[in-house]
Every structure is written in structure tokens, then in C-alpha cells.
């Protein structure tokens, strides 16, 4: 099933936004209050406007009922109001999973995914337009990095999905396109706003951030002692093997990543998740499973095995069902917690970044 809106409408509506203006949805309550005071307005208006944006999640300044018209006029001149609109939505007929393509004010598009679980609704958001990490099996990085997303654009993926579905989101995973640690300052601001009790108020425990392993940033994040889950995209059990799949392995060794993970656990007490995408004949042999077990021994962690999702630009193939189960059983026998990632929305399934890629390719060929 597909719901399509006209991209042109979205652009027309959002062209009025200007990058030089203050992005009010990226300000915390204190900053917003100061900003409003700077406009010569009463400070309590800051809290009112914050509430309209982050609790009621309105789509425009016009909807802010108790904000005086004069102040709205000032805000229209001095600020930009980031609000995402879906340009394409794929809805799974199997389990209700939805893939959203959102248009940004500068004409870029990003992908987000909505999933329903027994314990609540989860949204997977993008942190950048494109990505510069170059992982060989990933569609998001094929055209490199276009730009970082602002905190407001990260939040709006969640708000827009709540508006579109009429349902609350309780879990957020930063596992869409982009490398969150390569957009570190905006990520921190996003976490602050997402978990603010005065805002959408999602608990840190319900947030997962996934990284390809940028060690200095993992160590910085550890100091913050957030109660969120850190997920590491490992995908290999030796540096040589990892370098073949992930160029970032040339910058940081697996040993450095493991040390950063131990440090993260010591600082936060949070169990680390390791993502391991199984690629036929590349990293799915039993000796890989053994080597992975040795690497993880003694670390409080959990392994998420992901059968690689083949993209047409590369000829990586998914491991066979038997080698996936053998790999899992071997890890378990070695005392490692492991799950095989449940496939959501099988009928609309496409690898991370593929929906955006096909949309961009189509637009270029028009």
C-alpha cells in the first residue's frame, strides 16, 4: 500500500524557511525562553511555545492557540519552524510496519521506519542525509554525505509519524541513514530534547543509538552516563575482515572498539548491543563465530544477527538459513546472548536507505 503526497507542495510550503533564521525546535526550554525574552516578550511564552512544539506537536505557528498574533508575526520573521511531511509512505500488509520518506525544506529527502511491537511503537530515525562511512553493503552511503540533520529534523521524524499514525511512539532507535557519531553535537541536543520531561519525554532506556564504532565519540558519550543502549555495528571478527566491509575499520581497530565498549559499560552499567550482518562466504563461517565469541567473552553484551539485505549495487548475498542458525548456536554454546533480528514489514522490506536512493534516482532521471 502506498500513500503519496506531492513533493512540490512540500517544497512550496517549506521554501519560506531560511537557514539563517533560528531553528526554534532545536532549542531547549531555557534557550527558547531566552530567545523569546530577546524578542521583548514575556518569558512564560517560551514554555507555551515549547509545549505546542514538543508536547502537542502542532504543524504550524498558526495552531498555537494561546500565543498572541503579534508574537507569531515576530516568530515568522525571526525563526524557521521545522515540520516534516511524508512524501511517500509504504505500509506493510503483514505487520503494519511503515516506511516513511520525508521531504526537507532544502529539497533533500530522508527515510524513517515505524514498527509496532507488543511493548509499544518504535521509530527508527535517520541522523544524516546520506552518510560518509562507506560501509560496503549499505545503500545509505552510496552517494556519500549530503549534510547533517538538525536536532529538530531528527525529532520531527518521530513527531510527524505520531501525527500521521495517530499513535504514540515509546521507543526510538537511531539506526536509519547516517552515522550519529559523525553528527555528535546535534545528536546530543536531540537526546536532550527527546528525553526532556517537559517535552515528548521518552525515557533514556527506550533509546538506542547505533554506531559503526567511532571510538573517541563513544568515550565522550560514556562520560554523559546516559541510560540509553549503545549498539555497535561490528559485522566482523577480525580487523582484516572488517576493513573489507567497513572503511572505518582503517581508523579504529576492533580492540580499540572493545576497550571503548568496556569503558561505556563501566560508566553507564548498560549492556552493549553488537550488530552483526551475516554475509554469505564473507563473515558467516563457524570460525568467525568462534572468533567473535572470544572477542566478546566477559563483556556484558548482546549480539543481534542480521541476515544482510542485498542491495543491487553490490553482489553480497545473504547467508543460508542453516549457516545463520549454526552461527547463532555456536555463539550460544560459547555463552553469548544472541538473537536473530526479526524481519519486520517483509513485503515492504528494503535495505536501509534504499527507498530514498530509488526516489532520488527517479527524480534525477525525470
Which parts of this chain interact with ligand SAH (CB under 6 A)? 133, 135, 137-138, 175, 179, 210-212, 233, 275, 277, 306, 308-309, 311, 351-352
Q: Please name which of 122, 225, 250, 221 lies closest in space to residue 175, comparing C-alpha atoms.
A: 122
Dihedral angle over CA of 213, 216, 222, 226, nearest 10: -70
Q: Is 306 helix (H, G, I), strand (E, B) or coil?
A: strand
Residue 124 annotated in active site: no
Give 163 or 302: the residue with its C-beta nearer to ligand SAH: 302
- For 16-80, where are the alpha helices, taking DSSP H only? 29-38, 44-54, 69-78
Minimum Å distance from CB 175 to ligand SAH? 4
Q: Is 118 helix (H, G, I), strand (E, B) or coil?
A: coil
Sequence-ordered list of residues with C-beta below 8 angstroms from that of 238, at least 6 positions apart, any chain: 254, 291
Dihedral angle sign, alpha carbons of residues 337, 340, 344, 350 = positive
What is the spatial distance between Cα 159 and Cα 53, in angstroms, rounded to a whole number? 9
Minimum Å distance from CB 222 to ligand SAH? 17
CB-CB contact of 275 with 232 (8 Å): yes
Minimum Å distance from CB 352 to ligand SAH? 4
Minimum Å distance from CB 278 to ligand SAH? 9
Minimum Å distance from CB 167 to ligand SAH? 23
Give 87 or 133: the residue with its C-beta nearer to ligand SAH: 133
Give 35 or 190: the residue with its C-beta nearer to ligand SAH: 190
Q: Which of 83, 124, 261, 352 is catalytic?
A: 352
What count of other Cβ atoms lies within 10 Å of the Cβ of residue 6? 11
Q: Which of 111, 153, 156, 275 is catalytic?
A: 111
Give 32 or 172: the residue with its C-beta nearer to ligand SAH: 172
Sequence-ordered list of residues with C-beta below 8 angstroms from that of 44, at least 6 positions apart, any chain: none
| Cα-based distances in Å from 318 to 142, 302, 307, 355 | 19, 21, 6, 20
Residue 78 annotated in active site: no
Give 58 or 231: the residue with its C-beta nearer to ligand SAH: 231
Minimum Å distance from CB 32 to ligand SAH? 29
Give 79 or 126: the residue with its C-beta nearer to ligand SAH: 126
Sequence-ordered list of residues with C-beta below 8 angstroms from that of 61, at least 6 positions apart, any chain: 67, 72, 75, 76, 81
Q: Is 80 exposed, middle or buried, given 0-12, 13-18 or 19+ CB atoms closer than 10 A?
A: buried
Q: Which residues belong to the active site?
A: 111, 352
Amino acid at each position: 500500500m502506498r500513500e503519496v503526497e506531492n513533493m512540490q507542495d512540500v517544497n512550496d510550503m517549506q521554501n519560506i524557511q531560511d537557514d539563517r533564521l533560528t531553528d526554534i525546535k532545536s532549542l531547549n526550554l531555557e534557550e527558547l525562553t531566552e530567545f523569546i525574552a530577546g524578542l521583548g516578550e514575556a518569558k512564560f511564552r517560551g514554555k507555551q511555545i515549547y509545549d505546542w512544539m514538543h508536547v502537542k506537536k502542532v504543524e504550524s505557528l498558526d495552531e498555537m492557540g494561546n500565543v498572541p498574533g503579534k508574537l507569531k508575526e515576530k516568530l515568522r520573521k525571526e525563526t524557521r519552524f521545522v515540520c516534516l511531511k511524508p512524501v511517500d509512505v509504504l505500509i506493510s500488509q503483514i505487520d503494519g510496519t511503515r516506511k516513511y520518506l520525508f521531504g526537507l525544506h532544502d529539497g533533500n529527502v530522508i527515510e524513517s521506519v515505524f514498527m509496532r511491537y507488543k511493548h509499544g511503537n518504535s521509530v527508527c530515525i535517520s541522523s544524516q542525509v546520506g552518510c560518509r562511512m562507506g560501509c560496503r553493503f549499505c545503500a545509505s552511503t552510496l552517494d556519500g554525505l549530503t549534510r547533517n540533520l538538525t536536532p529538530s529534523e531528527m525529532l520531527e521524524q518521530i513527531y510527524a509519524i505520531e501525527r500521521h499514525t495517530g499513535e504514540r511512539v515509546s521507543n526510538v532507535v537511531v539506526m536509519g541513514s547516517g552515522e550519529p557519531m559523525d553528527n555528535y553535537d546535534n545528536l546530543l541536543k536531540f537526546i536532550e530534547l527527546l528525553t526532556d520531561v517537559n517535552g515528548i519525554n521518552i525515557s533514556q532506556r527506550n533509546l538506542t543509538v547505533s554506531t559503526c564504532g567511532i571510538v573517541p565519540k563513544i568515550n565522550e558519550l560514556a562520560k554523559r552516563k546516559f541510560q540509553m543502549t549503545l549498539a555497535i555495528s561490528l559485522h566482523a571478527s577480525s580487523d582484516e575482515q572488517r576493513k573489507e566491509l567497513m572503511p572505518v575499520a582503517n581508523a579504529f581497530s576492533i580492540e580499540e572498539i572493545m576497550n571503548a565498549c568496556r569503558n561505556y559499560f563501566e560508566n553507564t552499567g548498560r549492556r552493549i548491543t553488537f550488530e552483526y550482518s551475516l554475509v554469505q562466504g564473507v563473515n558467516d563461517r563457524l570460525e568467525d563465530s568462534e572468533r567473535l565469541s572470544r572477542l566478546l567473552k566477559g563483556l556484558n553484551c548482546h549480539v543481534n544477527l542480521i541476515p544482510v539485505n542485498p542491495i543491487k549495487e553490490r553482489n553480497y548475498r545473504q547467508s543460508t538459513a542453516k549457516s545463520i542458525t549454526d552461527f547463532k548456536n555456536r555463539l550460544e554454546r560459547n555463552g553469548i546472548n544472541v538473537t536473530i533480528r526479526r524481519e519486520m514489514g517483509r513485503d515492504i522490506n528494503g535495505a536501509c536507505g534504499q527507498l530514498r536512493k530509488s526516489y532520488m534516482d527517479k527524480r534525477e532521471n525525470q
